[in-house]
Structure 1
Amino acid sequence: MTEFLRFKRGKEVLEYPKLPASFEGNAFLPQRAFIPIAFDSKKPPETLVMRGETVKEGQIIARTEEPFSVGIYSSIPGILYDFVDFTLPDGKLIHAAAVKLEGAFDILGRPSADYPWRTSSHSEIIRAIGYSGILNTADLSALPLIYQVRNALKKGNADIYINLFDKDPSSGIDSILFDSFFEEVAEGLGIMAKILNAASVTCIHKLMKKDLFKLEKISETCEPFCKVKFINASNDYPFVQNNYFANKENPFLIDIPTAMYTYEVVRTNNPITSVYVLVTGKAINEPKVLKVKIGTPIGNLIEECGGFKTMPAQIILNGLIGGLSADTLDIPVTSTLKSIHIPGKDSIKKHSIEECINCGLCFSSCPLYLEPKKIVKSIEAEDLNEDIVKQIKICSGCACCSACCPSRIPLCSIILEMSKKIKKGSIL
């Protein structure tokens, strides 16, 4: 099925294929997992195990770099036999710990604890979230959830917002997960409302009348802690209006997978070792949603989905609008991976980067009235004045500019990468 996406600004309309897929359960276990321990880091990652050591499932093996240091855990039991690097098409490196499967599992397939979060103390819940290593994928920067929680608590009562649909509509994973696990999402929201002493929980949705009972579950779970509001999303992309967060001193954004993982780690007191991934596209035989061990090569998932039906044009990670092209099947599943798209050659007209033709589409399509071309030129020239930095900080990462660029310049990715550096304090 082909769907059409109309931008909020400008006259651009994108079309993209959307294939039916549903949750199929746990993916096959990888014989070798390449667990990411650092991304494009100039410093050696802080590893806590050495080559040749035996590791258990859920054992901490490394910590991410400061200022957002959290634990990274082995997703499978076995022997850590090497540390390897993977290069992404944009030149970034993934530093990974290579583990060969061996021995018994301590989490998978065993009865898990069921801690009652409603009667647990705030400190117990916050400790579980801090231990788990959850990254909040509501924002493309994907910061550790525990750091966002602690910062929000310093500011006072938070206003929680969640989109009950995909920020990138071509992805589809969030909508599928909410359809299958809306009760877990509601529990995760309830946990966040409790520990943040939330003033409100606002759900932005695109649900039909027949699915409104799912919202009732959220109300039932969250109303003991705060007010619950529901807002219909816009029909144009990006679906979330800018004024939703206006005049809010402490807005806290969360997405569906993060809510689910929050409930899972608080209930079981186990770290996150698996993530939900959608594998789809016209070139794949059987589109599926699988719960995948972190570090599994993406080629394993494609094989589990029946392999290629036709010659793929590309492999795109995390959505067709703002996603990243992959040029190898060896790239491991990370804690921020949501979807793998494998479009056929008839779906992709052109993807090579060319020189800017000064068409102005990036400016006319930006819903925040930013100047993507000007921002990127300043970044490339290393000339960041006050106005440019302000625009970089305002950028929401919707990727309208990249999606409509006829020269295929990754404008949004360049801007967001600089935004990360500014937030880390490595720039300015």
Structure 2
Amino acid sequence: MATILKKQKNNKTSYQAIIRKGRYRNKPITRTFALKKDAEVWAREQEHLIDMKRHQDPRLAEMVTLEQALNKYFRTIESPGPNFNEPTTVERKRTCAIILKRYLGRDISLAEITPRVMSEFRDRRLRDDKRSGSTVRQELSLISHLFTIAMQEWELPVSNPIERLARPRPAAGRILALTDLQARVIITESRKARNALFPAYLLVLMHTGMRASEAAGLRKRDVNLNNQTIIIKKTKSKTPRTVSLTDAATAALRNIDTDNFFFLKDKDLSRSNIMNRPAQIFRESWEATKRRAIAVNPSIPADLTLHDIRHSAATYLIEQEVPLRTVADILGHKTIQMTMRYTHPSMEHKAEMMQRIEGYGVDIQKEVSEERKALRELLAEAIKIIGSNGLDEELNKVIREISTYSTV
């Protein structure tokens, strides 16, 4: 039974309801009301909920709507901070939440969200809305995590509707990497951008393989131009890494005269969307540069993105025979498997590498014998010419020695 305490403060009377029941026996829950009747009603409701949770009453799931569950999820589970997901991840999940509430209904109860309901949602998104498998997987993943939290932490009597649901296959990874010529054209055209900092930014991307927002949010205190190194503290993998700078990238950064950031301006620092995704400041410059570059070299893909520059840098390093483990460290990948997804060697490079297997399984002695036969015939002809022209006897001697060697 709840306890109702009458309190007096500043000539005002209030009533505090105290509940010590179940898991709240040692750490009671309390709430204060102006009227004793309201305190008693609230106390009865809370005790009833505690009993329902204890006995896993299925009616409890009927009392919680999707909107209420999502609000609590983002308030307690996805709050941005050092121990939670990055703001960009939370932003993406909030977008998924908007879609879920729009299609399922914000007032639908958790008890009504069944595998059948979610399979219809999946099919509608794939078939009618033409969304990619990766997008739908993210939306289903949010519902799955929401129900897992509801079961494990909120003690709601629900089951995960995604657990036995067939998820769509993720979209195939992009197989796109710029050739050296295409990269040169893009760098050249970037110099015509309205943003004077864009050419340096693009060069740093190409010469470091940094993520677009890692480079755009680069702080001066994290760059040592004398040692030509960058310390990237805020990474996707949450593990800081050090990247070396080329001479060209170092020179480009050295010419930038700013205070705290290389590319961000003071007005950008107060905008949360820019600070979460700094690369947005170069969106217009990138699109304009890409249009000009395609006009010069139509082979440049129209759907090229700034992230593809990172893929291109990784591919170029691999083609220069940089060890895969080293490339993984440069890119900040925890596994080599991820690095392999980033590298797309050109057909010309693969054809060149395949020439190294030319002698594999071939009768080498037969090939050598044919070459020596051709060499003997050539030397024999040379000796005839030398003899008829009366060249130096010493030269004749050398030619005959070579001819003798070729018969071995």
Shorter-chain TM range is under 0.3
More helix by share: 2
Q: Whose relative contact order is higher, 1 or 2, with alpha carbons under 8 Å and at least 6 apart?
A: 1
TM-score (norm 1): 0.22
More strand by share: 1
TM-score (norm 2): 0.22
